[in-house]
Structures are given as C-alpha cells and as structure tokens.
Structure 1
C-alpha cells in the first residue's frame, strides 16, 4: 500500500530526530568527587553476612531517574561484580536509552573466593587445570553462597531500594557454573539467567547429569535463560555447553524461553561484554512489537499488551521507539488514525524527550479535526524543547499560531 505524503515526511523527520545526537543521547549529569573524579558506577555497601561469616562488599548502581521517581525496578545480580561492573553498567544504560530493556538496578557482588563460593561441589583430584593431586580444598561452597543470596543479600536490596519482583542473575565462567546451579537448585529465586561461558566441566560435568533429572518434568517453567559463549572459546568449553543444551532440547518445559548461541570469535575472557549485551537483549526481547500485534491490531489488544509489559518489568518498561513508529506507520497506511493516535500517545509517554513524536501526534489530531488537542500537543512540545534545549520552540509556536488563527 502506498504511504501518504504525511506519513513519508513524518517518517523522515522522526528518523532524523532519533539519530541526531542531541535528541538520542542527551547528556546526563554524573556526580563528581571533591577532587573531580567521575562517579556513576554505583555505591559500595558492606554486607555483614552471618551465613558466610565475613563482610561482603557489593556495588549497587541505580538507574537514571531513580531519585526523581517512585518507580520500582527489576534487579540484575551480577557475579564477579568488580570485574564486570564497568562494562555492565555502560551496556545497561545504552540498552535502556534504546528501549531494548527497562531501567534496572545492578547489584555487583564482589568475589572474595571464587573457587569456594561459585562451585557446587568439592573438587576431586582431576580438577581441570590442576596438577591432579589434592584438587581445590575450599571448593563446594555454592550451597552456602546461594543461601547468602536468598536470605541476606536479596532481602537487603529489597528492604533498602524500590525493587520490582523481576530478578536476574548473571555469571561468567565459574559464575556461569553457579548460575546453572542456582537455576536448577532454586529456580524460583530468579526469573531470568544470563549464563556466560559456564565452567560445565566441573566434576565430570555434574550439572549436565543433574539436568537430565531436572528437565524430566512435564510441567511449566516460566523462566528465561540465555546460554552464551564466545566463538573463540576453547572447543571443550563450547562442547560442554552444547551437551547441556542438548538436554534442554530433549525435554523443553512449557513457557520456558531460552537461547543458546556462540558469538563472534572472542575468547573466554573477551566475550563477556558481548554476551552481556546479547543476553540482556534476549531476556527482554518481548519488548519488541510482534507481527501479530501489527497485523491484528486493536486498541484494546495494544493497551493490554502494554500493561502486561508494565506489570512484568515495572513502570519504566517501554518498547523501542522505532517499534512504536513502525506500528503507527502501518495504522496510518490502513487509515486507522484513531489507533495511530492511541499508539503515539503511549510512545510520547514512554519517550518524553522525542519531540518528533509529539509533532506527529499533533499532525494526526489536526487530520481528524481535533485542533484543540493538536494545539495542546504542540504546547507540550514547546515545554519539552525548552527543558532539554532542543531549539524547536519557534517551530512549535508557528504551528500553534496557525491553528489558533484557523479557529477564529
């Protein structure tokens, strides 16, 4: 179907706004120390753990806007937190700005003894990479560490921050091994798992053997799991993950969303940032607008689907701006201007900085002869442009004066 001139012109206008740096990447103030060092990664807390019998440092990174809202936020619990907090916070901010994930709290858990905390059993003499004598004496502490997460750390975070019930755990290598263990040992503790290059060789691939029993149930498992590994990781690591995944394939539970992929040619350590990025995108891939919603659109189904996402992920959940526009474009092509307005109203709430969306909404109001609403929308555009120094106030004012003149 041929697009209307309004649709084509507005599409070019919107795309221009979404790709211009001043619109898509508004600078946000980051706190500085007295000696001008940038902060922004988070705040360190010391958890006095009776379960671990030690003081455990954690770093909590709050999303932009946390202090200005009363929203509740999903939480990502990040293993090897100090090692991974820098790239994870940057990735989270990028994906949040793009609308690919909702705003989340990141809790980085500092590792004090990885071989103790992240291993599910005592290592035998043939431990991978060892000399084959005594193994690792302190290994096998994962059950205690999992209890620490369940009974001390998660309650601390929930008590002190506005958290949404949706929880994620992410781990790499031994952290990936622990994430697999936590998934099968206490599946109700987390809703989603990012498992990166897991050390599934541990003790003769015991996690894979346990999976053969875990996945025997015919019931439902409403969880989302990303299994990722670098394409340049050792073939043994990749093969061990494949063997675990084969168990999942043979008996996939109902409602279980999962993905296994080998990414690029990155080696074991270099893959972490890319796997974090891909993993987060997959966990929240249901934020993308489905073909069914486009092809079988109704205002009720759209509003219900939006509410379902807000219920699942919290008040900051939104779809990518480009997805809203794709749906609006299809509706305008089908001469469903009222439906397009419903979608655009939601899009302007989700992306209050994108004045191009307000422009399109005002044009559609004018098209259906609701000029007062068009004027109100342009007035909102003036406020947004002033607040974020976008330089569009005069253009909006011209449209306001034109509409008011035509009303007289």
Structure 2
C-alpha cells in the first residue's frame, strides 16, 4: 500500500509537465510563459489561459485561478472554465497553471522524511519543507507579475490536489488574506504526522474569513465494506486518507471559521487519481453559486433593469465591478429582435455599446438592429465602426451589400 501512496503523492504534476517542446509556447487554449524567482532562485514555468474576450484595449477584468500541478490539470480546468463561463454559470477567468520543479519541496509546509505509514524516506522526502518559500513566491512575485501583465480583479482562487491540496489548506490557514477562495482536492493532511490538522482549529478560530470560500473534496480510497461513518474508528493504514479528510471535516463543523462559506464533499465513486476532474467542476459551481441568471434567456419578461440589477448583485458578491456579460446581453438583444420587440432589442444592444465601446461585435449587432428596422444609413454607420475596430468578414459583406443598394437607390 505504501508504494501506491508514493505514486499518488509524488507523480502528479511531474509526469505530465513536458508535453511540448521548449520552443513551442502554444499549449492548446493557453501559452507557456517563464518568470525568474529571486525567492526560489530559479526560473518558473507558467501555463496561462486568458478568456477569448481579453484584449489590451478591452475594459474587461478577470478573476484569476492559480492552479497547482498546473500542466497536469490545465486542459481539464481551462475547458470547464471556458464552457461554464460561455453559458453564464461562472465569470470568465484567467487560469495560471504553475509547473513543478521540485514538487516535494514546494508543496510541503514542514520538513519531514516520513510517509503516512511512518516509514522514513530521506531520498525522496529529504528536500521537503519549502512550502512557505513557495507561498512567498506566489505572493511577492507571481501574483504581482500576473496583475501587471493581465487585466485582473482582486478575486483570486487557489486550487490544488493531493500535496497541492495540502498547500491550499496551508495558505488558507496561515495566509488568509492572499486568496478569496480555496479548492482542496483530496489533500494530503497526513503530512508530517498531521501537523497542519493539529493547529488548524486554533488558527482557523483566529482568522477572519468574511467573503471567503472553501471547497474540500475527499476521494474514496477506503477498503471495501468501510464507509465514512465507520472509517474514523478504523485503524487500517489503507483507510488513512479518508479518515484524515473526515477528521478535517469535523474540525470545520465543530469550529466554523468566522465568515467562511465552505462545502465538504465525499466522492464515493472516485479514487485519488480520478477525483480532480469532477471535484474541479463541482468547486466552480459551488464558488460561483448565484452567478447565473435565475431566468432563462428566452424569458420575455427579462428587462435591461433586471440584467443591471443582477450584475450589481454579482459585483457585491465578487467585491469588484462585474459588467453584464457581452455575450448574454447580445443574445437577449437578438432574441427580442427576432420577436420584433424593437424597443427591448435596442435597449440590450445599446447596453453593450455602453459597457464595451471598443467591441466590434457590439457595433455589428447594433448594425443588425438598424438593418432589421430598414434604417440603412444608421446600419452602415455601425458596420463601419465595427470594421474600424476589427475586420469581421460577415460585417464587411453586409456593409458592401448595403452600400451597393444605396448607390443603386
């Protein structure tokens, strides 16, 4: 069993970290970047995804999700972020995946040379205990770099699995002002004879977690015939991981941290290796509960005032100004345009122009509105403005057809 635990806790994040050549900076939906860390005395590789709406001239700003063991979970996490944000379930988010150089060193908050069964392993664990330096790198070098290069909001998430989950909890307990929300996926709270758990209660009581959130996921690594109600009394080494997670759950229940919104979920059908995907999805849904509209986009009772009020509520929830989603407002505009409700259609298209004055798509949509109203001069004006901002083949085609009709007329 110990060999299995070694594989689970050491390999994630190092066996998948080199999936493209050093000169190839493109990685699917994102790209690789490198920064030098004075604190860690080494270069660090980052895998970064930015939403499609990101441009240097756009007023959009985005929350940032910092992902430990980045290359291992980059594609799954960015895929979920991209899809859920496109349907209005969560905001658009920048994802920063942190690649490993020395995982054991960086993701362990204290020095220990013992595995969870007590066996010593100086060869593998001798470098452990660099977690505080790693968090210092994130706080003083990585976050300032990302904030300087990209359009970010104060909302920051930290997501980690296994030893990464331990780092998430360490950050929440010992550095509570650094992140807004935390996702600890099957964390290795057994580390160093449960050192973190031993002082968690005391530290959690002393911190203010107002407007902060934690999602804690526990996988099923128990022996057959054991359940979460019996595992606490069980002493088998093979059940230690779930037993520790149940114990941490009880700490949260017994001493609820002030202001913290938290959820603990046990995944009975997932093991340590399979749980990150489903837990990551559930975490995003939990952390951004209330983000989506409570009305269907086809609901004809939706008004501009309703949309504005909803996003004002989100701004309060997120602690920064959240603009109404350009894509959602655009869809509403076309819904009412197709229903010949021109007054509402204009209001939604105009709202996008107010919020996104450098969006070619917003001007193109207003052009479609005027085209539908047979106001060709105003349609041409908006299509031209759209093309000044960005070359859009469909817009160019509509403009040529209108100009041709005007010349003939």
TM-score by length of 1: 0.68
1:242: which partner in 2? 246
The unaligned stretches of length 5 or more in structure 1 are 1-35, 292-296, 319-346, 366-372, 401-408
Deviation at 1:308, TM superposition (A): 3.4
Change (3 A) 1:253 1:288: farther
**Residue number among 18, 28, 34 corresponding to 1:40 in the alignment:** 28
Deviation at 1:352, TM superposition (A): 1.2
**Residue number among 43, 68, 72 corresponding to 1:55 in the alignment:** 43
Cα deviation digits, residues 293-346 of structure 1 (max 9, x gap) = xxxx9998985552131352656666xxxxxxxxxxxxxxxxxxxxxxxxxxxx
1:213: which partner in 2? 202
CA distance in 1, matches of 2:310, 2:44: 41
Change (3 A) 1:62 1:303: closer
Contact 1:361 1:377 in 2 (8 A): no
The unaligned stretches of length 5 or more in structure 2 are 1-23, 223-237, 296-301, 351-359, 376-409
Q: Which has the higher contact order (CA 8 A, sep 6+)?
A: 1
CA distance in 1, matches of 2:209, 2:41: 37
Change (3 A) 1:212 1:116: same
Cα deviation digits, residues 262-300 of structure 1 (max 9, x gap) = 135111111111111111111111314679xxxxx9998
CA distance in 1, matches of 2:220, 2:106: 27
Contact 1:71 1:315 in 2 (8 A): no
Cα deviation digits, residues 327-376 of structure 1 (max 9, x gap) = xxxxxxxxxxxxxxxxxxxx88734135663258854x7xxxxxxx2574
Deviation at 1:69, TM superposition (A): 2.0
1:357: which partner in 2? 335
Change (3 A) 1:235 1:300: farther
**Residue number among 270, 273, 278 corresponding to 1:269 in the alignment:** 273
1:69-88 alignment runs, 5 A limit:
69-88=58-77
Structure 1 SS opposite 2:179: coil
Deviation at 1:215, TM superposition (A): 2.6
CA distance in 2, matches of 1:230, 1:387: 48
1:31: which partner in 2? none
Cα RMSD over matched residues? 4.0
Change (3 A) 1:348 1:357: farther
